[in-house]
């Protein structure tokens, strides 16, 4: 009816006006009334994954590093691709950030460029530098896991689980090993494949490099039908969980290895152990957190601990060095952090091998409060140019070597 | 009573009385306010100012459901049923609580009540549990009528419903209206068909521009007087043609033994230059299919449609390229983009004409504007702006837009299917005059219509169809009457 | 239809109503909303929001969606919804990046690699979209369903090609392209092309008319199957070019790249003032305005310190309100005819 149309039209116009007014009220309502004057350095932290240890890291950033360095940290959601990283960097710039600590290794090149464009200092937690961005003024380089250290640690861990002389088959999550996106992942995987090869005299049909760089999951041709190796690449935890399901449930694999975290997979592993009445040994990278202790102390259905060996990633050590590096750059020390040619440089953090629950019990006391942080506000002074004018790349590397000795750290920190 | 819609005044101090046992016709051009009066009475909307009394008591219905339940029911012009539910569910839409037993609706009871209602009204070809989407347009309208009659309304309002019905449907509606009168109840009947109104109504109230001009009793009916009251002026010239000019021998369009999937079997037709060829019959006789087939809208199983140069017409693109035009009987769904502007609708046939430079790809906005302006002016399309949507126009003006669309590219052959349906008398007169002018200019028109008077009044030659065949062909002569044609239709 | 005569407005209220009902109001409303947002955030940030660098950030963040959405408006104008825009763009990004890297590995020049990358991206996108259109018209299946199937298929192909790896274009090259404003040029040229085609040629007018009333369009000699193919081809062009813009912006592609592109594109088109039912109220700039509005909104909220957890919620609510203000809704159940 024409008349009904007019009625509706009139009502519709009123709704339009109302909606527009409400929109403007909403926009104005979210505007805070606080001053915009910058009191602290604002630093963006771009996490690659958000897992159980992320909260521990956030606490460390907020409670220990921030007051000591006069910083305020903005944390991202999980960064899954370069586009998201670039957007996060841009949003940080919008908020007045002056530095970025980046965890998304695949995006370190493009991220460095974006940060450089907005004159923000940029440092990545990775083990391999991006050659194309070494010369960028604001790129400070990397502070990541020592590839040699990780390789040694994984070799030791594998040797310990293979020590019984029996045949074992291994399911490996290689995460970002393909293409050395994360160099530590690549070298850790290489170390384990070499260990298996040496232990069982395996003859791989392809080179280890080719095996690691296969970007789809699959079984490795080991030349020995009694020894199976299944590799699963990929940084998406959910997809990896779905992929490992079939080989895991076959019951053929009694060792599970992850070059990064393992927490996502414990339920699936426990289920198979129960169903097949078998013990699956777990070797993985972990952090100092409650879950790791639980992994060592909780028993699986066959009475064995869930975790057998971990390579502890001293995350907060890397976090402290990254934040301090940016602090120094902001206080005139940027060049000191670079290499002799003035390019972005690499710093290596050594992992702490932890073969059993007893060892972990001691380590677990670290990083819980100010006095037990491996690098607390007092230790930070050594890294800050404002209190230690000699702080530079070499002194950082030296300090990191000292921190490889976990026993010394425990002796110092745990009274 | 007053009623405003924003800037627009729909009713201006209208006072109206309806007596018991009377069938009152409300008549006026589009925009006169007749539907507004009835919709206010039926509870569709409140007046801006003024009051109503129903059976001596104040009457201000908050909704149509309320009005329906308390004595005033309305059958609307547009589709008033919901296709994907049953006939029974449609009839009792909004009143399902009547059949509630606890939290559950007793569907069996609803079905039984529907069957009783349909039987009582003499409706035998519709089942209570049938989904409405299975019914054709006419049957759906019958369901609406039944829905209204369930409540035994004291006042039944029929708003331009008859135009959508065929002869059978209209007879059914008239019988309902007569029964209302016989039961000392009343009817408000709104239609554009003056002849129908004069036949069915006891009195006619004429509105114009939101004001009541006057009421004429049956004894005083006089068509030209009523038309004058509606329009406010004399209609210049005759309503229909009064000439016997004839047409050329040249055949411009030929249907050669065409057979379609349904309706037509080896159908032949020739249209001549300067001819208005009328085709009439009952709704399902196949005449609408003829129009579609000639324009390339129907797939031909056999036979061909050709122009004078032998070009075969097998799709609309070819037809239009050869300067043919088609006005569908389903104006709103097929001939117009309702949510587009008048400008866009008329310009839609000019994309190849209004180019910037010759056959270049760009369209000239200025040329397009001129293309449309010419039609708005020539056809006196009443609109605030050519950029307003077509759905803001009255039925008559919408039809003018459709005409304008096909006249603008200077179509040589026009197929008009029920072109004056739902159009008020002033616009009808203008259209007839336009058709005549086109004929005189050498254009050819195929006029398909369910109104015999129109066919007799306008055609050079009339074909009457039944069951897909031509049963009668009559030339334009002075003594041609409806009676001579009807027996060949039925 | 209206049963009322048209009267001249006489009061201020009537004059305002006339302005509101004016066709230019509908066209300009999205711009007005964007300006209001810019004004509000500029006030709140002491002018920082309107700093050239920040505006550049907004433009860069919006550019991929704006490019894809510009092509998308051709499809949406016909009243059809395409859910495979994101998957097509990402697959083109993947294949063209693979081709580029293969050429470099084989010793080919960077220039050759770039040309091949561009050609492959555009050709593949046009092919995919053209194929989708033909599938829809030949099998007489709604575009929506065909594109749902294509979306899944293309995602599977990308998964098979990429697995868990990330393809990275050397940052020197993306930096070079960005410094030479190649992404802006790509968008600018495509946008200009789209404006001309959509608003000044038969193609654009016909697509809108098909979206308004397909049957009426058919009766005026405009066949949906022909024009739908054209719409998809132009849409595909936008996707192929959008893939190039994405490569320049991020320099890499993985399985999660641009995962929300399709939704972002549809949101941008709707927020830019275009009806989801297409038809005459379709404007080629809708995608651009919508993309910039979305990004500006997000950027502004970040700048003023809205908690990141709240931003998504506030964004969603604001979108609902802004769409309610800008969109004309059909008077009944969703249907193509207004």
Q: State the DSSP H helix or E strand holding residue A259, giving kind and residue range, or none if neither.
A: none
Same fold, A41-146+314-359+368-413 and A148-312: yes
User: B467: Cβ–Cβ under 8 A, 6 or more apart, which residues?
Assistant: B285, B286
pLDDT value of position C321: 75
Taking residues A391-412, what's their average pLDDT?
89
Q: Look at the domain A41-146+314-359+368-413 and name its fold.
A: Rossmann fold (3.40.50)
Taking residues A348-355, what's their average pLDDT?
88
Q: Encode pLDDT of C108-162 as tens digits.
A: 999 999 999 999 999 999 999 999 999 999 998 999 999 999 999 999 999 899 8
Alpha helices by DSSP H, listed for B183-302, are 194-200, 223-231, 287-294
Distance (Å) from the alpha carbon of B10 to chain A's nearest alpha carbon? 9
Q: In this complex, do C2 and B398 lie within 8 Å of one another by their Cβ atoms?
A: no
Domain ranges of chain A: 41-146+314-359+368-413, 148-312
Give the residue, C236 or B78, on which the prediction is more confident: C236
Written as six digits, the tokens of C73 are 């408006």
Q: Is A242 helix (H, G, I), strand (E, B) or coil?
A: helix
- Residue C9, pLDDT above cutoff 50: no
Taking residues A102-116, what's their average pLDDT?
93
pLDDT value of position A108: 92
pTM of the model: 0.80
Q: C2 in a domain, yes or no?
A: no
Per CB-CB distance under 8 Å, the chain A contacts of C46 are: 36
What is the C-alpha to C-alpha distance for residues B336 and B320, in angstroms, rounded to an integer?
16
- Residue C59, pLDDT above cutoff 90: yes
CATH number of the domain encompassing residue C148 = 1.10.3470
Nearest in space to B327 (alpha carbons), one of B435, B190, B246, B237: B435
- Residue A168, pLDDT above cutoff 80: yes
Number of alpha helices (DSSP H) and beta strands (DSSP E) in chain C: 14, 2
Cβ burial, residue A200 (10 Å; 0-12/13-18/19+): middle
Q: Is A88 in contact with C57 (CB distance < 8 Å)? A: no
DSSP secondary structure letter of residue B249: S
pLDDT value of position B235: 56
- Residue A367, pLDDT above cutoff 80: yes
Q: Give me the domains of chain B, ranges plus CATH numbers.
A: 3-231 (3.40.50.300), 251-489 (3.40.50.300)
C2 confidence band (pLDDT: 50, 70, 90): very low
Q: C337 in a domain, yes or no?
A: no
Taking residues A378-397, what's their average pLDDT?
91
Q: In this complex, do A1 and B78 lie within 8 Å of one another by their Cβ atoms?
A: yes
Kindly give the confidence (pLDDT) of every residue in chain B, 490 residues in length, as a single tens digit, with 9 standing for 90 and above: 988 876 567 788 999 899 999 999 998 876 678 888 998 999 988 998 999 999 999 999 999 889 988 999 999 877 788 988 999 999 999 889 889 988 899 999 999 999 999 999 988 889 999 999 888 877 888 999 999 999 999 999 998 887 767 778 888 899 999 999 999 999 999 987 788 899 999 999 998 878 899 999 999 988 888 888 887 765 555 678 888 888 999 999 999 999 998 889 899 999 999 999 999 987 778 999 999 999 999 999 999 999 999 999 999 999 999 999 999 988 888 999 998 999 999 999 999 999 988 788 999 999 999 999 999 999 988 887 898 889 888 788 899 999 999 999 999 999 999 998 878 778 888 899 999 999 999 999 999 998 888 999 999 999 999 888 899 899 988 778 777 777 777 6
pLDDT value of position C334: 40
- Residue A123, pLDDT above cutoff 90: yes
Q: In this complex, do C254 and A130 lie within 8 Å of one another by their Cβ atoms?
A: no
Q: Which residue matches tokens 């592109």?
A: C261
Q: C292 in a domain, yes or no?
A: yes
Distance (Å) from the alpha carbon of B490 to chain A's nearest alpha carbon? 34
Q: C137 in a domain, yes or no?
A: yes
pLDDT value of position A336: 81
Cβ burial, residue C138 (10 Å; 0-12/13-18/19+): exposed
Q: C212 in a domain, yes or no?
A: yes
For chain C, percent of residues with pLDDT exceeding 90:
66
- Residue A13, pLDDT above cutoff 80: no
Q: In this complex, do B76 and A10 lie within 8 Å of one another by their Cβ atoms?
A: no
A34 confidence band (pLDDT: 50, 70, 90): very low
Q: Is C121 in contact with C92 (CB distance < 8 Å)? A: yes
- Residue C21, pLDDT above cutoff 70: no
Q: Encode pLDDT of A39-52 as tens digits.
A: 799 999 999 988 87
Q: Encode pLDDT of A211-220 as tens digits.
A: 999 988 999 9
Taking residues A21-29, what's their average pLDDT?
65
Q: Encode pLDDT of A308-337 as tens digits.
A: 888 988 879 999 999 999 999 999 888 888
Distance (Å) from the alpha carbon of B44 to chain A's nearest alpha carbon? 8
Q: Is A321 in contact with A400 (CB distance < 8 Å)? A: yes
What is the C-alpha to C-alpha distance for residues B191 and B161, in angstroms, rounded to an integer?
7
Closest Cβ–Cβ partner in C10, C206, C219 for B328: C219
What ipTM was estimated for this complex?
A: 0.86
- Candidate CATH numbers 3.40.50.2300, 1.10.8.80, 2.30.40.10, 3.40.50.10170; the one for domain A148-312: 3.40.50.2300
Q: Which residue matches tokens 């194309």?
A: A132
Q: In this complex, do C205 and B31 lie within 8 Å of one another by their Cβ atoms?
A: no
Q: What is the mean pLDDT of chain C?
A: 87
E strands in B160-286: 186-190, 203-208, 211-217, 251-260, 267-272, 276-281
Cα-Cα-Cα-Cα torsion A193, A194, A195, A196, nearest 10 degrees, comes to 50
Q: C41 in a domain, yes or no?
A: no
Q: C187 in a domain, yes or no?
A: yes
What is the C-alpha to C-alpha distance for residues C215 and B236, in angstroms, rounded to an integer?
37
pLDDT value of position C11: 62
Residues of B with CB under 8 A from a CB of A: 5-6, 8, 10, 35-36, 39, 44-45, 76-78, 159, 391-392, 394
pLDDT value of position A33: 39
| Best residue in C5, C27, C214, C336 for a mutation probing chain B (most B CBs within 10 Å) | C5
Nearest in space to B23 (alpha carbons), one of B157, B151, B168, B147: B157
Closest Cβ–Cβ partner in C1, C53, C171 for A2: C1
- Residue C333, pLDDT above cutoff 60: no
* Domain housing C164: 46-326
Q: How many domains does chain C have?
A: 1
Q: State the DSSP H helix or E strand holding residue B332, giving kind and residue range, or none if neither.
A: none
């Amino acid at each position: 009816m024409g008349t009904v149309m007019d009625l509706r039209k009139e009502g519709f116009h009123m709704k339009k006006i109302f909606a527009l007014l409400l929109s403007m009220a909403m926009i104005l309502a979210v505007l805070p009334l606080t001053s915009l004057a910058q009191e602290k350095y604002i630093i963006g932290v771009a996490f690659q994954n958000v897992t159980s240890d992320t909260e521990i890291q956030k606490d460390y950033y907020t409670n220990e590093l921030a007051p000591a360095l006069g910083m305020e940290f903005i944390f991202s959601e999980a960064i899954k691709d370069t586009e998201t990283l670039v957007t996060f960097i841009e949003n940080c710039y919008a908020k007045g950030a002056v530095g970025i600590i980046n965890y998304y290794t695949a995006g370190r090149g493009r991220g460095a460029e974006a940060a450089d464009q907005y004159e923000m200092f940029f440092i990545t937690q990775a083990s391999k530098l991006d050659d194309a961005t070494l010369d960028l003024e604001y790129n400070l380089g990397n502070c990541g896991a020592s590839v040699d250290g990780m390789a040694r640690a994984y070799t030791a861990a594998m040797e310990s689980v293979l020590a019984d002389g029996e045949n074992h088959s291994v399911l490996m999550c290689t995460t970002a090993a393909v293409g050395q996106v994360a160099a530590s992942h690549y070298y850790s995987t290489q170390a384990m494949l070499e260990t298996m090869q040496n232990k069982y005299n395996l003859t791989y049909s392809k080179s280890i490099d080719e095996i690691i760089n296969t970007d789809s999951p699959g079984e490795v041709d080991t030349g020995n039908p009694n020894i199976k190796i299944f590799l699963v690449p990929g940084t998406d935890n959910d997809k990896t969980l779905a992929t490992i399901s079939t080989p895991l449930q076959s019951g053929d694999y009694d060792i599970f290895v992850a070059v990064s975290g393992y927490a996502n997979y414990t339920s699936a592993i426990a289920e198979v152990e129960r169903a097949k009445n078998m013990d699956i040994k777990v070797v993985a990278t972990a952090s100092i957190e409650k879950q790791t202790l639980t992994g060592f102390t909780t028993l699986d259905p066959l009475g064995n601990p869930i975790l057998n060996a971990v390579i502890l990633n001293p995350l907060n050590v890397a976090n402290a060095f990254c934040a301090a590096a940016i602090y120094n750059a902001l206080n005139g020390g940027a060049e000191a952090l670079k290499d002799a040619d003035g390019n972005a440089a690499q710093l290596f953090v050594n992992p702490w091998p932890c073969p059993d629950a007893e060892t972990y019990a001691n380590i677990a006391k670290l990083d819980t409060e100010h006095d037990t942080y491996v690098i607390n506000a007092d230790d930070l002074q050594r890294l800050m140019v404002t209190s230690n004018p000699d702080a530079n790349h070499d002194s950082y590397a030296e300090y990191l070597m000292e921190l490889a000795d976990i026993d010394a750290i425990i002796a110092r920190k745990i009274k | 009573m007053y009623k405003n819609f924003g800037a627009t005044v729909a009713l201006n101090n209208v006072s109206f009385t309806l007596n018991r046992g009377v069938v009152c016709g409300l008549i006026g051009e589009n925009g006169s306010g007749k539907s507004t009066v009835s919709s206010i009475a039926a509870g569709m909307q409140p007046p801006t100012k003024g009051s109503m009394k129903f059976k001596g008591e104040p009457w201000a219905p908050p909704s149509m459901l309320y009005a329906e339940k308390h004595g005033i029911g309305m059958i609307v012009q547009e589709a008033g049923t919901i296709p994907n539910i049953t006939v029974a569910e449609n009839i009792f839409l909004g009143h399902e609580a009547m059949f509630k037993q606890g939290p559950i609706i007793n569907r069996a009871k609803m079905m039984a009540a529907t069957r009783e209602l349909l039987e009582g009204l003499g409706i035998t070809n519709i089942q209570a549990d049938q989904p409405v989407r299975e019914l054709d347009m006419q049957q759906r309208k019958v369901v609406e009528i039944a829905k209204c009659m369930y409540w035994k309304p004291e006042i039944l309002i029929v708003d331009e419903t008859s135009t959508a019905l065929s002869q059978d449907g209209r007879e059914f509606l008239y019988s309902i209206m007569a029964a209302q009168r016989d039961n000392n109840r009343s009817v408000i009947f709104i239609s554009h068909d003056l002849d129908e109104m004069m036949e069915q109504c006891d009195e006619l109230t004429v509105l114009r521009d939101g004001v009541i001009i006057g009421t004429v009793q049956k004894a005083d009916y006089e068509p030209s007087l009523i038309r004058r009251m509606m329009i406010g002026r004399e209609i210049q010239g005759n309503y229909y043609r009064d000439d016997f000019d004839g047409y050329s021998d040249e055949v411009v369009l030929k249907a050669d033994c065409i057979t379609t999937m349904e309706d037509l079997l080896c159908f032949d037709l020739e249209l001549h230059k300067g001819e208005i060829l009328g085709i009439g019959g009952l709704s399902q006789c196949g005449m609408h299919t003829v129009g579609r087939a000639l324009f390339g809208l129907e797939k031909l199983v056999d036979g061909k449609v050709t122009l004078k140069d032998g070009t075969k017409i097998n799709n609309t693109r070819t037809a239009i390229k050869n300067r043919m035009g088609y006005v569908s009987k389903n104006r709103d769904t097929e001939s117009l983009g309702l949510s587009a502007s008048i400008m866009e609708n008329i310009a839609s046939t000019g994309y190849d004409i209004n180019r910037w430079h010759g056959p270049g790809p760009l369209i000239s906005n200025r040329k397009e504007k001129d293309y449309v302006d010419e039609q708005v002016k020539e056809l006196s399309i009443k609109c605030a702006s050519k950029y307003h949507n077509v759905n803001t126009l009255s039925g008559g003006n919408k039809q003018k837009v459709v005409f304008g669309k096909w006249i603008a590219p200077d179509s040589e052959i026009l197929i008009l299917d029920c072109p004056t349906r739902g159009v008020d008398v002033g616009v009808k007169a203008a259209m007839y005059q336009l058709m005549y002018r086109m004929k005189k200019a050498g254009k050819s028109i195929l006029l398909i219509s369910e109104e015999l008077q129109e066919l007799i009044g306008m055609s050079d030659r009339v074909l009457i169809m039944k069951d897909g065949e031509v049963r009668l062909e009559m030339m334009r002569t002075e003594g041609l009457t409806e009676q001579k044609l009807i027996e060949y239709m039925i | 239809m209206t049963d009322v005569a048209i009267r001249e407005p006489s009061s201020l209220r009537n004059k305002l109503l006339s302005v509101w009902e004016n066709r230019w109001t509908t066209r300009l409303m999205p711009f007005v909303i964007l300006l209001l947002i810019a004004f509000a955030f500029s006030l709140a940030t002491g002018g920082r929001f309107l700093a050239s660098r920040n505006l550049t950030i907004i433009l860069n963040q919006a550019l991929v969606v704006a490019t894809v959405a510009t092509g998308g408006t051709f499809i949406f104008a016909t009243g059809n919804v395409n859910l495979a825009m994101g998957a097509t763009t990402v697959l083109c990004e993947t294949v063209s990046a693979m081709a580029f890297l293969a050429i470099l590995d084989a010793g080919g020049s960077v220039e050759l690699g770039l040309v091949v990358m561009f050609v492959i991206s555009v050709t593949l996108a046009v092919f995919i979209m053209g194929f989708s259109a033909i599938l829809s018209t030949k099998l007489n299946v709604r575009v929506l369903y065909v594109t749902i199937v294509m979306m899944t298929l293309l995602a599977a192909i990308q998964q098979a090609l990429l697995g868990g790896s990330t393809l990275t274009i050397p940052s020197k090259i993306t930096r070079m392209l960005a410094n030479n404003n190649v992404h802006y040029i790509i968008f600018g040229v495509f946008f200009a092309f789209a404006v001309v085609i959509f608003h000044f040629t038969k193609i654009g007018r016909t697509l809108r008319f098909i979206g308004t009333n397909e049957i009426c369009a058919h009766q005026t000699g405009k066949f949906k199957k022909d024009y739908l193919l054209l719409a998809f081809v132009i849409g595909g062009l936008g996707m192929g070019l959008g893939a190039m813009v994405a490569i320049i912006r991020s320099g890499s592609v993985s399985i999660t790249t641009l995962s929300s592109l399709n939704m972002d594109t549809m949101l941008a088109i709707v927020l830019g003032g275009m009806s989801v039912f297409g038809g005459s109220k379709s404007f080629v700039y809708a995608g651009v305005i919508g993309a910039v509005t979305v990004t500006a909104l997000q950027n502004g909220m970040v700048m003023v310190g809205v908690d990141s957890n709240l931003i998504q919620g506030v964004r969603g609510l604001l979108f609902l309100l802004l769409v309610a203000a800008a969109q004309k809704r059909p008077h009944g159940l969703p249907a193509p005819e207004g």
